[in-house]
Amino acid sequence: MKKERNSNFELMRIISMIFIILWHILSHGHIIENCGNPQLKIFFKFIWFLIIVHVNSFVLLMGFFQSKSIFRLSKLLNLVLQVIFFCVVLLLISIKLNWIEDYNIITIFNYSIPSSVSYYWFINTYIIVYMLSDHINVIIDKLSRKQFKRMIIVSLIVLVIIPYITGFRTLYNDGYTFFNFIILYLIGAYIRRYPIKETYHFNKLSINGYRLLLLGIIFSMALSNYLIWMFADSNLFIGSFIGEISKRILASQNNYSTPFAIIQSVAYFELFRSFKLKSKIINYISSFVFGIYLFHEFPYVRSSIYQILKIDTGLFYGYKKLIYIIIGLCIIFIMGFVMELIRKLLFYGASKLKPVKCFINKIKSFTQSFNFNINW
């Protein structure tokens, strides 16, 4: 019997995907740089730092669950096939809509292979970590709590704090790297084994008091991130020590790997963990979020959709842009949802066909012939 997913984490996945769409609207839609209204620009920049938890939350979730699970080849293949489907279909749509003027068989091939599409950086790194998860888990399971905690602290110092304060002059980690995924995976695995609420002084708090504390951490980290960015931005061109520090801060302040973003992400994850929700509707919608990501981050969709939705229209001053942002967010979510629904129906129908079943069985036999003890 298939175990029902925890709806609290599924709700987090939905909200995190909404944050991702909004993040891309603000960045790829050039909202912040095109905003000529100082008050509105402050609002957008604070929202930017408030929703920075989105990617990290998915990696924490991976570490939380995968650290107690095993690698399955079928899951990997399903993920790769899902990406290929979106790449091929969206490429054909882009060609039909004349979003691509110059294309050939090499273009089609390149955009059909997940590892060749840099816009899907998350997928590439996710797949690598997933393939290594069994080996990572072996190391984790051999560590005592003290050793595990020490490993995370050292990793945070070397891979998060030092790159942040040096502006990547010692080691590069902008949050898009394998390093950041491993750190978040380890943190997710750690808090699965040793729940934060049950440790230190947190176990003395009521559940509502704990949630209020987490909300306070989330907003205080976002505000701290914003204030530091504002200080650095205003002192960038000062020819002094402060100016140099400002340059280093600005080099990393917008990244997922800052100490503020990491702490904020853990608090955000813990906030949803503190709830006990059961909802088939939430679980159903959550199963579509990855398709929504694949839809709106495909390069040719990404380069056109924000102009079509009148989000990226150049310099603006009025609050009317907020309406376009909200409407655009909803349209992107729905379109990605519908496309993923179509894919699910097609894949389900194909899986019932006898030739497909025979092909899957041959793949199983082929992988088992290597005696690698691969779980299907």
Give the pLDDT confidence of 152-184 residue by residue, as tens digits: 999 999 988 888 877 766 777 777 888 899 999
Where is pLDDT greater, at 110 or 165?
A: 165
Predicted pLDDT at 177: 86
Write the pLDDT tens digit of every residue in 335-359. 999 999 999 999 889 878 888 778 7
Predicted pLDDT at 209: 93
CA angle (42, 46, 52) in 5-degree steps: 150
Distance between alpha carbon 219 and the CA centroid of its chain, in Å?
19
CA dihedral 171, 173, 177, 183 (to 10 degrees): 100
Predicted pLDDT at 215: 96
Grade residue 315 by pLDDT with cuts at 50, 70 and 90. very high
Distance between alpha carbon 208 and the CA centroid of its chain, in Å?
27
- pTM, whole model, 2 decimals? 0.91
Place of tokens 């888990």: 137
Q: 194-203 long-range CB contacts below 8 Å, 24 or more apart?
A: 194/145, 196/266, 196/270, 197/270, 197/274
CA angle (73, 75, 80) in 5-degree steps: 95
